[in-house]
Amino acid sequence: MRWIVDRVLLAAALGVASFGMAPARSADLPASEYRLSGPHGHANLSIYLVHGRATDRGGAMLTLQDALKRGVVRIRETGNVDQLTIENTGNEPVYVQAGDIVKGGQQDRVLRLDLVLAPRSGPVPIASFCVEQGRWAARGQEEVRHFSSADAAIPSRDLKLAAREVAKPAPAGPVVAEPTAPGSRRQQAGNRGPASAQTEVWAGVADLQRKLGGNVRGDVAAPASRTSLQLSLENDKLRVAADAYYTTLVGLIDKEPDAIGFAFAIDGKINSADVYGSPALFRQMWPKLLRAASTEALAERKDGTQATPPTAEAMKAFLVASEAARPTERELAGGGRQITHDSDKAVVFETRRAASAPGFVHRNYLGK
């Protein structure tokens, strides 16, 4: 009997199940254990709060937005359009989220991966895409070698998928593949490499600007750089229109101490969700996330009958089904791990501080 107890204790210490069962890193809080409340709505945007227990025990972190404002993070150009370096010079960890837009440099960029920067990290490479086309020089009085702010996130599911290099579901009928040289960077899943994904990002920015301009009845492209998504998001008419969503919904989490994330639907269609390993990190990210969702809803708004939002049960079913795909793992700069579940209808990106760290930092669910 003693050997059974010892074996169970050893398995627990190693973080694996006993008697040969595979480890279940993502099972510390599966979507099936979430509780969803809502929908809470404004116009064509429906918000669902995700409630659950904290699982990330790594301690408090600064967001990239706050770290740049405090001057403890430096993001630098490398001369390579799709890679920057980021350095934490402070004494607290810094959380970087995929989809964060960094402003300045030779072109505004969107960061492609989550990252937890250790204190005094030294320079760490981070992949990026341009969300501004054509510029490769200083803009006004901005610093051309560094980036000044990260106050916005990309406000479009299609842009998020492109920035994450997620292959779209194959269309019906025969498909002619784009020829690619063997071993080249573009010879990836579905021939979708950084070059083709960058083209999709630029096209997505232009489409978003067009939709937003139509719904605010004015051009949102900035004279200083007409292709800059960041400058478009700073447009006064756009901010006023999006604030109608934001101010209505931002107080939703005030009396919800166990809220760890949110999901949303636009025009009755499930869009995406962001869930965190701690309520504190979710509260730090909430204003930026809600502004992005509000902007996307504004872009997609159409005149006519308002669609019926999904039930909370339907939204939870989407989250649970999204986690069903077989996981793949990759190492992240700084020692973190990314676990991906990619299926025909959705993709989930889960970020952990390290392979052995208990709990996840962030899960991003994207419908396709």
Using one digit for the tens of pLDDT, what is the confidence trace for 223-258? Answer: 999 999 999 999 999 999 999 999 999 999 999 999
Secondary structure of residue 126 in the 3-state scheme? strand
pLDDT digits (tens, 9 = 90+) for 274-319: 999 999 999 999 999 999 999 999 999 998 878 999 999 999 999 9
Domain around 281? 23-60+155-166+193-367
User: In the 3-class helix/strand/coil scheme, how is 263-302 assigned residue by residue?
Assistant: EEEECCEEEEEEEECCHHHHHHHHHHHHHHHHHHHHHHCC
Residue 302 lies in a domain: yes
Residue 312 lies in a domain: yes
Q: Strands 62-63, 94-96: parallel, antiparallel or unpaired by DSSP?
A: parallel
CA 174 – CA 73 distance, rounded (Å): 48
Answer whether residue 143 shows pLDDT above 60.
yes
Chain mean position to CA 25:
21
Q: Which helix (H) or strand (E) holds 103?
A: strand 100-104
| Structural domains counted in the chain | 1
CA 11 – CA 7 distance, rounded (Å): 6
Residue 109 lies in a domain: no
Residue 71 lies in a domain: no
Residue 70 lies in a domain: no
Secondary structure of residue 53 in the 3-state scheme? coil
pLDDT digits (tens, 9 = 90+) for 148-178: 999 999 999 999 999 999 976 554 443 333 3
Residue 330 lies in a domain: yes
Give the count of beta carbons closer than 10 Å to the beta carbon of residue 214. 12
Answer whether residue 6 shows pLDDT above 50.
no
pLDDT digits (tens, 9 = 90+) for 27-65: 589 999 999 999 999 999 999 999 999 999 899 999 999
**What pTM does this model have?**
0.86
Residue 132 lies in a domain: no
Question: Greater confidence, 90 or 305?
Answer: 90
Residue 316 lies in a domain: yes
Buried b (16+ CB within 10 A) or exposed e, 116-147: bbeeebeebebbbbbbbbebeeebeeeeeeeb
